[in-house]
Structure 1
Amino acid sequence: MKLYKNAVKTCEQLLTEYAMKDVSVTNTQKIKFTGVEHKDVYNITAPFQDEGEWVIAGRVESRDSEHSNVVFFVERDGQWVPREGAPIFELQDPFFTKINGELIVGGVQIYPHPVKADALMWRTVFYRGKNIASLALFFKGPDGMKDLRLVDLKDSIGVLTRPQGDKGGRGKIGFTRIASLEALSIPLIEETPLLEGQFVDEEWGGANEAHLLKNGLLGVLGHIASFDDAGDRHYYPMVFAIDPATGEYSDIQLIAVRNQFLPGATKRPDLADVVFSGGLVRHQDGTAHIYAGISDAEAQCAVIPDPFAQFEVL
């Protein structure tokens, strides 16, 4: 299996490539959430099964605030409502995975900056349990790091990192492997090598979800983002693949853009062009459902061509 990495590409170049492919994004729907006191629900996970029931974890937040909770929702009569008795975590941007049959749920924890007055700091935290009801905190990532992700590789555990600052600039992706969850540590995460040549220094990105593919490659669903001249943010859902055995990785490809989803509200004017890749559900017919946060104000899903199918035939 050979993955080819070419030169680093900007958002503008990736948008041009994507437009030439004329990708169909169909069955776009807004996901309806109720029972959360007129708050927005966005940056959701894909649905996953827990105790025989489909569940979505979502970021629940007032329009004028960054302080959010992660709530677990279940579907009732076409709408998603908070699951009775489920824990609520004071986190942003939830995600989930399964490792050795155990449920792992995480998100971004914000807290007062240790040095700067009236500023916030953040880190990725992880919970584990046999189900949602038994989730218990087991790891806090490095200060200042979002988009830390784990994935079961069967013979090991993949770790996707996203340092910022001296090592990662505005945010770059790293990858390493560990033997067990017990091997996870802040020094290991901080020493994880970057996947070079994915982002120009003015732009940034991160991993949102990782899928072990049938041939052993790792399909990564993520986002790439930039500022424009006016200071507005632009977030695009993207994918690439990694060979965990060799560390080789493919070019980034966009898989959707904002105007392919339904029009809707935005948290602030500078966030209108934001699609935050929450999760992907692959289907046998070569399609996939993408679940995404839209403009930091709502959640939508759509059907796209399965972006990982191309890597499974390598």
Structure 2
Amino acid sequence: MTRKPIKTETCKQLLDKFYAKPRLTKVEKLAFSGVGNRDVYNITAPFRFDGEEVILGRVEERDSEFSQVFFFTCDNQIWSPRKHTHTYNLQDPCTTIIKGELIVGGVEVITAADNPGKIVSWITQFYRGFQIDSLRHFSSGPGTMKDIRLIELADGRVGVFTRPQGARGGRGQIGFTIIDSLEELNEQTFIDAEILQDQFVPEDWGGANEAHLLRNGHVGVLGHIACLDILGNKHYYSMVFSINPETCEKTPIKIIAARSDFPRGPGKRPELEDVIFSGGLIRSGNGRAVLSVGVSDAEAYQIEIPDPFIEYE
């Protein structure tokens, strides 16, 4: 079968399309307690596991990149650390459920041997378990690869999204492969994943942040697309596309949220002001969805938007 070529569009072209179609939204800032003066951002979407609703969030001092991932529970609209729960020295948590088992991922930073304050690399780490309090480490990604995401496919196999950079991936591409089970998840799996073609122009980059199994067996991907301006400021937008896991045929990327959707607020650094990081999406079943995002590397928000995956089903 000949795949229909997709015209690769720049961040700016996609953003122009996004702003040309205004939509009704409802925005809510999440409130956190129990973490001192630290920021909580780059959250997952809330999810129910083992009978309770939880989210994971990146907890960090404003002037530091050394973070912890906490499990939070909500009481009276305030999210607080789940009691007696292990925290992880990771950035940017992600979750999925595979065969009833909770899978948690996050990015571990690697520091210089002679300078513990200098980050020189990072590795995505994965944990699994049937209870939040008994997660165990089971897999590590290759050095410098973030945005690795897993999903249980319709036939029970596991889809794996990767984010190669450098010689294979430039500033950051998205790769995809399928394995039979989590037992096959290893560094070579991530390295060998096929890069999805024609997604980003060389100046832009992106990654997958969460994968959703759609009714037709395809996978809806929530991710981000990013670019730099001439001053070196970063611009990150939430985007989606869908992929047929059997053929790797995919739809064009579309932006679904931008920093302008949210109130002005603090940022970690000036060059990160126009950054939102897709954390997770809950489909409401009524044509709407709630997107959880980190904003300007300092705050956590949820925004209700039209369900972006409906057209793919």
What RMSD in Å do the two structures reach over aligned CA positions? Answer: 1.6
Tell me what 2:17 maps to. Answer: 17
Contact 1:29 1:262 in 2 (8 A): no
Tell me what 2:149 maps to. Answer: 149
Letter in 2 for 1:208: N
| Residue 204 of structure 2 corresponds to residue 206 of structure 1 | no
Tell me what 1:288 maps to. Answer: 289
For structure 1, the 5+ residue unaligned runs are none
- Separation in structure 2 between the aligned mates of residue 4 and residue 196 of structure 1, nearest angstrom: 12
CA 1:36/1:181 → structure 2, altered by over 3 Å: closer, same or farther? same
**Percent of pairs with identical residues:** 52
Contact 1:3 1:243 in 2 (8 A): no
- Separation in structure 2 between the aligned mates of residue 194 and residue 48 of structure 1, nearest angstrom: 30
1:290 Cα deviation from its structure 2 partner = 0.3
- Separation in structure 1 between the aligned mates of residue 210 and residue 139 of structure 2, nearest angstrom: 18
Higher relative contact order (CA 8 A, sep 6+): 1
Moved over 4 A (4+): 2-5, 113-117
CA 1:114/1:148 → structure 2, altered by over 3 Å: closer, same or farther? farther
Tell me what 2:272 maps to. Answer: 271
Tell me what 2:251 maps to. Answer: 250
Tell me what 1:31 maps to. Answer: 30
Contact 2:42 2:57 in 1 (8 A): yes
| Residue 77 of structure 2 corresponds to residue 86 of structure 1 | no
- After superposition, the C-alpha distances for 1:251-270 in whole angstroms (9 at most, x for unaligned) are 10000111111221111111
For structure 2, the 5+ residue unaligned runs are none
Tell me what 2:132 maps to. Answer: 132
- After superposition, the C-alpha distances for 1:1-56 in whole angstroms (9 at most, x for unaligned) are x98552111100100111112233x2201100000011000000000112211101
Tell me what 2:177 maps to. Answer: 176
Tell me what 1:241 maps to. Answer: 242
Structure-2-length-normalised TM-score: 0.96
Structure-1-length-normalised TM-score: 0.96
- After superposition, the C-alpha distances for 1:36-91 in whole angstroms (9 at most, x for unaligned) are 01100000000011221110100000000000000000001210000001110000
- Separation in structure 2 between the aligned mates of residue 173 and residue 36 of structure 1, nearest angstrom: 34
1:140 Cα deviation from its structure 2 partner = 0.7
- After superposition, the C-alpha distances for 1:192-242 in whole angstroms (9 at most, x for unaligned) are 110011011111100000000011010000000010011100000000000
CA 1:157/1:233 → structure 2, altered by over 3 Å: closer, same or farther? same
Report the secondary structure of 2:289's partner residue: strand
1:132 Cα deviation from its structure 2 partner = 1.0
